[in-house]
Amino acid sequence: GALDGAGYKHYGGYPQSPRTRAEAAEVVKAYFNRLAGDARAKARPEELRLFSSINGHYCYQHYACEWGADIVGSEVGENINSTQAHIAFTRGAARQYGKPWLIDFSSWYRPSMYDEDPRKTWGEYSGPERGHSLSLHQRTYYVAYLAGAEVVVAEGGWLNFFRSQSPGPDGTLPLSRLGEAGARFYAFTKRYSDRGIPYTPVGLLIDPLHGIFPGFGEKLAWNAFPYSPGDQRILNLWEAFFPESLDVQAKRNEKGYLVTSPYGDILDVIFNNAPDAILAAFPVLLLAGEVTQEALLADRLRKYVRQGGTLFLSEADAKLLAITRALKLKPGMLTAAGPGYARVERGRGAVVVY
């Protein structure tokens, strides 16, 4: 029943413990639709053109696309781990569903807020040395823009981009250091408006019912189910591409927000129910996590590989019966290979078991 900043009442939790991930997803969907319906009922006609869904901590962007959002986004900064992984989820969802996407950077941090206004808008939490560093603000703006985001939101920027809300002699508000950085970023976007297309040749293929929450606190899929070995394999790949970024709370510093990837930021996350044309757009697919429609997926993966794609499977995922049969994989192939992986050609493509 608590009110959020936009005046919406929220009722968290489940009316009763869900027995399956599908049941949990239906409760979350109903929650989303209730908020969306309320927002649309309150919106002015011109606001109805684009309904935006933004979530942080939880990587649920694909669900928002599925349930009717026009723009899908992720909040980053704040106390939210792994900006690059959130971009991979958000951009992947936008790619799968043909939606524009956005990144919202929150200045809040542990809990404090960047604010140069001497009135201290957020009281004891405000200050020019509070919240996130200027460096992280700036780096996130540029990373989001160059990653392909159509919208980059400076959360609270209407206030903390300025030293004061009182106009100067020329009638404009004086810029804060953060506002000056924002102005430089804006000029950069105008100077380099043609960004090209982000190069993301690797698709992380996960199940529509994954429901994973890698943030702080207890790790539960859909806030209800302990992580399975399949869930952990998703996070292991996350950690491989974006090392030491899974838990920013534990570090108590900004090291986990933007990290140096050994492979570059070349990953998008897509659901395994994506159309064949979306799968084929990725030269490489990494399958991970639980699979609810194994037989259907196995046939589609066989087609993907035979038409030229390269599919990576962990040893555990390679033992899924339907996939093993569809791809004609042999037991013990990894042990026989020796170097820690085995590669087999299938049609014009290949399967790599690691």
Residues 206-256: tens digit of each pLDDT: 999 999 887 777 889 999 999 999 999 999 999 999 999 988 777 778 989
Given this model, what pLDDT does residue 338 score? 60
Given this model, what pLDDT does residue 126 score? 93
The helix/strand/coil state of 166 is coil
What confidence tier does 334 reach under pLDDT thresholds 50, 70, 90?
Answer: low
Average pLDDT over residues 66-77: 95
| Position with higher pLDDT, 46 vs 332 | 46
Given this model, what pLDDT does residue 2 score? 82
Average pLDDT over residues 77-94: 95
* pLDDT tens digits for range 129-170: 999 999 999 999 999 999 999 999 999 999 999 999 889 899
Given this model, what pLDDT does residue 248 score? 76
What confidence tier does 274 reach under pLDDT thresholds 50, 70, 90?
Answer: very high
Given this model, what pLDDT does residue 5 score? 74
pLDDT of residue 276 exceeding 60: yes
Average pLDDT over residues 302-316: 94
Given this model, what pLDDT does residue 123 score? 92
What confidence tier does 49 reach under pLDDT thresholds 50, 70, 90?
Answer: confident
Using a pLDDT cut of 70, give the percent of the chain over it.
98
Q: Are strands 126-127 and 113-114 parallel, antiparallel or unpaired?
A: parallel
Given this model, what pLDDT does residue 336 score? 57
What confidence tier does 194 reach under pLDDT thresholds 50, 70, 90?
Answer: very high
Average pLDDT over residues 81-108: 96
| Position with higher pLDDT, 209 vs 8 | 209
Mean pLDDT for the chain overall: 91
| Position with higher pLDDT, 340 vs 289 | 289
The model's pTM:
0.94
Given this model, what pLDDT does residue 221 score? 93
Given this model, what pLDDT does residue 130 score? 92
Given this model, what pLDDT does residue 337 score? 55
Using a pLDDT cut of 90, give the percent of the chain over it.
70
Enter the DSSP assignment of 206: E
Question: What tokens were used for 92?
Answer: 């992947």
Given this model, what pLDDT does residue 144 score? 98
Cα–Cα nearest to 53, from 2, 9, 89, 22: 89
| Position with higher pLDDT, 15 vs 334 | 15
Q: For 87-91, which contacts have Cβ atoms below 8 Å and span 24 or more sequence positions?
A: 87/143, 87/144, 87/147, 87/149, 87/265, 88/200, 88/204, 88/241, 88/265, 88/267, 88/268, 88/269, 89/59, 89/61, 89/62, 89/269, 90/61, 90/149, 91/147, 91/148, 91/149, 91/198, 91/200, 91/268
Given this model, what pLDDT does residue 316 score? 86
| Position with higher pLDDT, 331 vs 329 | 329
Average pLDDT over residues 323-328: 89
Do residues 195 and 146 make contact, with C-beta atoms less than 8 angstroms apart? yes
